Structure formats: C-alpha cells, structure tokens
Amino acid sequence: MTIRKQWLTILILVAVFSVVVNSFVLSSLTDKYFKDYVEENYDKHVDQIIEYITETLSREYYSENEMAIQLETHLVDPITRIKVYDAEGLPIADVSSNSSMGKGMMNGKGRGMHGMMMGNYNPGLEEIDNAEIRYHNQVIGQVNITKYSSAENSIDAWLFQSSLIENSIYSIGIVLIFVIIIGILISKKTSKDLIMTADMAQNIDIGNKTIKLRSNVKEIRVIQQSLESLQTRLKIKQKSRKALIDEMIHQTRTPLTIMKTHLEGIEDGIIELTPEEIKICENQIENITNIITNMSSMIDADKELDITKKEKININHLIKEIVSGLKAQYEKKEIELNIIGNEKINLFTDPYKLSQTIYNILTNAYKYTNPGGRVQIDYQLIEDEVVISIEDNGIGISKEDQRKIFEAYYRSDYVLNTDGEGIGLYVAMENMKSIHGKLTVSSELDKGSKFILRLPKDKAN
C-alpha cells in the first residue's frame, strides 16, 4: 500500500472514530438529561391530574365530557391512558392516546407522531399507577394512569434517540466528505514531495543534474537536505579524485620527458652513455613505477595516497639533473637555460616532489618564453631556509591571474593558444605544501616572471 493510501485510510478511521465517540458521549449525556426531564414532566402531570380530578369531583355538578377533554391534555409522553372512577368504583372518564389520535394530528407534528407510533404499541412495556382521590379525608374517587414502564420505552425517548442516531450518521457523512477531500489534497502533496525526493535520489545515483527541493513536511525536508549534502560531498570527492588522477597522470610526464630527452641525446651523440646517465634513467623508471602503484591504489577511496618520502639530497646535483634533462628541449627553441651558483647545499626533503615542482615551473617558463629568451635558476642558503628562484623574461602573468594560477585547471585567457591542462602549477603548489615549503610568484606582463621556492633546511615531517 502506498503512503498516500495509508495516510488517507488512517485519516478516515481517526475521523470516523472521533465522530462516533463524540456522538456516543454526547448522546449518553443528552439521553440522561432527557430521561430526567421526562420523569419530572410525568410527576408534574400526575400532580396536575390529581389536583384537577379532586377539584372536579368535589363539585356537586360536573361534566364528564368536559373532564375527558381536560384529561386529554395530559396524554403526553409517557402517559398513554387515564381512567377515572367515582367513590363506588364506577367509571367516569376514560381517555387514551388511541382515541385522541385524530385531535393530536390537528394539534401539531408531535401529537400526530405520538398517535402514529401507537401502531407499535406493546402492552408489555406499560405499567399502571393508581391514586385515590380524597377530599376532606374522604375517598371521592380513583384514577388509574397508564404509562410506559420506563422513560427509555416512551415514544418521545425513542424518537429522540432515533434523531440522535440519524444526526450522528449525517455528521459522519459530512465529516467523511471533508476528510476525504482534505486527505486527498494533503496526501497528494505529500506523495508528490516523496516522489520528487525519490527522483532526486535516483538522479544523484546516476549522476544527473538535480534541482533543489523544499518540502513543507519537516521530515521530508530533512531527507532532501541530506540528499543535497550527500550530492555536494560526492561532487567534492569526485572532483578531488579527478584532480588527483590528473595530477598523477601529469606526474608521469616529468620522468618520461627526462628519459626521452636523455635517450634522444644519447642517440644523437650529444650525451655520452655513462653510468651517471644510466642512473638518471633508472631513477625516472622508479618514479614512474611509484606513480602507477599510486594510481592502482585509487580503487580504495579512503586510502592515503599523498605519501612523502624524505631523504638527504644535494640541491646542486638535483637541479643539474633536471636541467640536463630539459637542456636539449630548451636549445631546440633557442632559449638559454642557466644555473647560477655552484654551491653544494644538502637538504632533507622528498627529492621526487621537489624535482617535479622545479620541472613544472621550468616547463611553464619554456612554454611562455619566446625564442631567444632566457631562464635562469638560482639557489642559496638564507639562514635556515633553502631559497630556489626560477626567473624568465617571457610574456609574464597579470595581477589577476597571479591569484589563480595555482588553482587546478585554471587557464588564463591570455595564454589560451598554448598546450596544457592548467594543472602543472597546481601540482607544484601541492608538492610544496606536502614538504612544508612555500611557493610564491612575482611577475609583470611582457617582462617575465619569477617563482621562489622556500624550504626549511634539515626539517623532517
């Protein structure tokens, strides 16, 4: 059964139950007060009948027809018959509801109904009250008053109860109509909200675009907000994973490019195949192996992939190795690439992340420096920091772009004609953060750019 049908069924049952209980309680209370009223009214009429008969029989002359007419006025529920006898027991007057039916119908609906109900008259439900008529302590007559045995057996009581039941049925009918109309409207609105919420969940599941929903029902609104929150978290997680995969793919370019340039140099006879060159190629192969291992670990969504492996390195040796790998590429574009300084500085850091950062910045400089340009690398120890600066005289970076170039996938409109995904500098910044370094840039359009790397000396994680 759908929620809509359940809600409508429960609403109807509650409404009917409420009306029935209310009608029962109200009927019971009203019936009790009505019976009390009937009893009091009966006692009042009995007193009036005895008073009238006593006054009439105490007179020397009286009319039996007139007495009958007067007694008929007291044939009210629950009294059905009045018989009067004189002192010798001879009947004087005898009036009953049957004999007065015609007159009763002319006197109004109540008396007419009273007479018509006599067709259902049952003597077993009647009893007779007897009273002596005394005047100056002498018995001058007797009266027998026939009445229904109890108030609930009277015609008026029966009519009253029937009216209550009839009105209760009408009430239930009216309430049911309103309940069904209101229930259909409310259940339609509620079921619509639930259907839309279910559609929202399905769209999130299959990755379709969803719209914001705001139900008036608090519980449904909480579910909708939870789904929106879940969708946001999934998008963030998906974006983060995509950025991480793109970053890893980008990372493979560094060792592959270095290996390619070295192999081309060896093939062209520019570079000699020395043990040192073989070692460089082995290191790049090891870097690629580590990247592929990390990419396979992406199956586990909660696994920590950003692992930093620190070791003691020589900055001069590291920079020379990177420059050696890119030298041939720079020379082909006729860009001068120089290292300033030859000081041996040891540093405890992750050699791969640092070399990748330098490589990405140098690659950027290569892209945005025109033929005949210059790129130079300087490094020095300032207090407890190793400062590496990479400066070029290329096209430069605008002030607005300098605030965004370290964001993933950001591409400036100024350089849309160049290749790249806009992730190189993002990777460089993330690498520097993971090894507790800092990366800043200063630049002017058409004058060049300067990237500065600051690393704490001899400080491990």
In this predicted model, what pLDDT tens digit does every residue of 300-345 receive, in sequence order? 544 455 567 888 999 998 998 888 878 878 888 899 999 997 888 8
Instruction: Give the CATH superfamily of 297-456.
Output: Histidine kinase-like ATPase, C-terminal domain (3.30.565.10)
Task: Check: CB of residue 237 under 8 Å from CB of residue 339.
Answer: no
Residue 107 has pLDDT above 50, yes or no: no
Work out the pLDDT band at 395, boundaries 50, 70, 90: very high
What pLDDT is stored for residue 114 in this prediction? 41
Work out the pLDDT band at 455, boundaries 50, 70, 90: very high
Instruction: Give the DSSP H/E element, type plus range, for residue 79.
Output: strand 79-86
What pLDDT is stored for residue 1 in this prediction? 55
What pLDDT is stored for residue 378 in this prediction? 94
**φ, ψ dihedrals at 59, nearest 5°:** -80, 155
Residue 446 has pLDDT above 70, yes or no: yes
Instruction: Look up residue 442 and give its amino acid.
Output: S
Range scoring the smallest mean pLDDT among 32-36, 69-73, 182-186, 414-418 = 414-418
Instruction: Look up residue 460 and give its amino acid.
Output: A
Number of H helices, E strands in the chain: 11, 11
**Conformational region of residue 436, where left means phi above 0, alpha means psi within -120 to 50, and beta covers everything else:** left
Residue 445 has pLDDT above 60, yes or no: yes
d(CA 350, CA 372): 34
Residue 80 has pLDDT above 80, yes or no: yes
Of 71, 38, 53, nearest to 133 by C-alpha is 53
Q: For 242-257, how does the pLDDT look when each residue is reduced to its tens digit (9 = 90+)?
A: 666 766 666 676 678 7
What pLDDT is stored for residue 244 in this prediction? 65
- 312 forms bridges with which residues in the sheet? 348
Q: What rounded mean pLDDT belongs to the chain?
A: 77
Q: Residue 407 gets which letter from DSSP?
A: S
Range scoring the smallest mean pLDDT among 31-35, 106-110, 186-190, 327-331 = 106-110
Q: Which residue has the higher pLDDT, 425 or 299?
A: 425
Find the mean pLDDT for residues 339-356. Answer: 88
Work out the pLDDT band at 357, boundaries 50, 70, 90: very high
**Share above pLDDT 70 across residues of the chain, in percent, rounded to a whole number:** 76
Residue 268 has pLDDT above 70, yes or no: yes
Q: Which residue has the higher pLDDT, 10 or 414?
A: 10
Find the mean pLDDT for residues 375-386. Answer: 92
Find the mean pLDDT for residues 184-210. Answer: 74
Residue 376 has pLDDT above 90, yes or no: yes
Range scoring the smallest mean pLDDT among 87-101, 325-339, 415-429, 445-459 = 415-429
Contacts of 418 (CB under 8 A, 6+ apart): 367, 368
Q: Which CATH architecture has domain 3-174?
A: 2-Layer Sandwich (3.30)
Work out the pLDDT band at 386, boundaries 50, 70, 90: very high
Domain boundaries, the chain: 3-174, 297-456
Task: Check: CB of residue 447 under 8 Å from CB of residue 391.
Answer: no
What pLDDT is stored for residue 247 in this prediction? 63
Q: Kindly list the strands in the beta sheet with 374-382, ordered across the sheet, starting from the edge strand earlier in the chain.
A: 336-340, 374-382, 385-392, 448-456, 438-444
